[in-house]
């Protein structure tokens, strides 16, 4: 089910990211989005999106109406179920995904999984690693860039491990990081490519530290369908 809608925000402080983030989390695939001033102290958010599941129209209206700080005033629905040929799945825009991650960090596993599911299989590894590098690098710059940069291995124990604790329960030994109950491969039938986001995250985080030489991160064990403990080795 494809739809277009317009929502008016109650304040200029309620912006595009405050609309697209809950939509992504609710399982909608964004096609396009834009923001303009309402002239009444708020914004008008225009969104075209597609339901990726079996949402009903009532559920769609409930999801749109429940977005905090917004009033739904225009909705057009295109029921694509009657089409003989299913439309090609559209890859989610990385910029929108990064905005959603920024809004909901560190509770981002569902957003990353949604992005992964929208990607062609042969692009998932590189795209998720690149997304992870941008997120990890941004977290280092935000939380750890002030003061004297720590060298290895101190930056792992004192900075990387605390940063990763927001995503999952963590254990670390020397240059090996363990994600306990890894949220990126939590289902038993998961193909575990989501763990490549963690590979990129660690690489991006460490690469942003000027005291750390170039590193390479490998997932040396995936816990999908077994222990659910994923192992990442920093070399």
pLDDT digits 0-9 by tens, 92-151: 889 889 999 998 999 998 899 888 888 888 888 999 999 999 999 999 999 999 989 999
Whole-model pTM over 0.75:
no
Residue 78 and residue 134 in one domain:
no
Is residue 138 domain-shared with residue 64, that is, in the same domain? no
The model's pLDDT over 76-103, given as tens digits with 9 standing for 90+, comes to 888 655 444 444 556 788 988 999 999 8
CATH of residue 189's domain is 3.30.1380.20
> Three-state SS string across the chain, please?
CEEEEEEEECCCCCCHHHHHHHHHHCCEEEEEEEEEECCCCCEEEEEEEEECCCCCHHHHHHHHHCCCCEEEEEEEEECHHHCCCCCCCCCCCHHHHHHHHHHHCCCCHHHHHHHHHHCCHHHHHHHHHHHHHHHHHHHHHHHCCCCCCCCCCHHHHHHHHHHHCCCCEEEEECCEEEEECCCCCCCCCCCCCCHHHHHHHHHHHHHCCCCCCCCCEEEEECCCCCCCEEEEEEC
In a domain, 115, yes or no: no
pLDDT digits (tens, 9 = 90+) for 165-200: 999 999 999 999 999 988 887 654 455 567 899 999
């Amino acid at each position: 089910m494809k739809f277009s809608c317009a929502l008016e925000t109650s304040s200029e402080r309620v912006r595009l990211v405050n609309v697209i983030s809950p939509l992504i989390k609710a399982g909608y695939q964004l096609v396009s989005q834009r923001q303009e001033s309402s002239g009444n102290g708020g914004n008008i958010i225009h969104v075209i999106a597609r339901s990726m599941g079996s949402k009903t129209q009532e559920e769609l209206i409930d999801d749109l109406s429940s977005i905090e700080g917004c009033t739904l005033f225009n909705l057009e629905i295109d029921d694509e179920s009657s089409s003989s040929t299913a439309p090609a799945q559209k890859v989610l825009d990385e910029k929108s995904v990064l905005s959603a991650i920024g809004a909901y960090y560190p509770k981002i596993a569902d957003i990353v999984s949604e992005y992964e599911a929208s990607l062609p299989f042969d692009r998932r590894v590189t795209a998720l690693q690149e997304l992870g590098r941008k997120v990890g690098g941004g977290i280092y710059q935000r939380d750890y860039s002030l003061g004297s940069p720590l060298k290895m291995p101190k930056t792992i124990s004192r900075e990387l491990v605390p940063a990763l604790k927001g995503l999952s329960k963590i254990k670390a030994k020397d240059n090996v990081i363990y994600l306990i109950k890894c949220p990126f491969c939590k289902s038993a039938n998961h193909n575990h490519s989501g763990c490549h986001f963690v590979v990129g995250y660690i690489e991006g985080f460490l690469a942003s530290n000027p005291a750390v030489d170039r590193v390479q991160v490998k997932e040396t064990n995936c816990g999908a369908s077994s222990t659910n403990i994923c192992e990442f080795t920093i070399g």
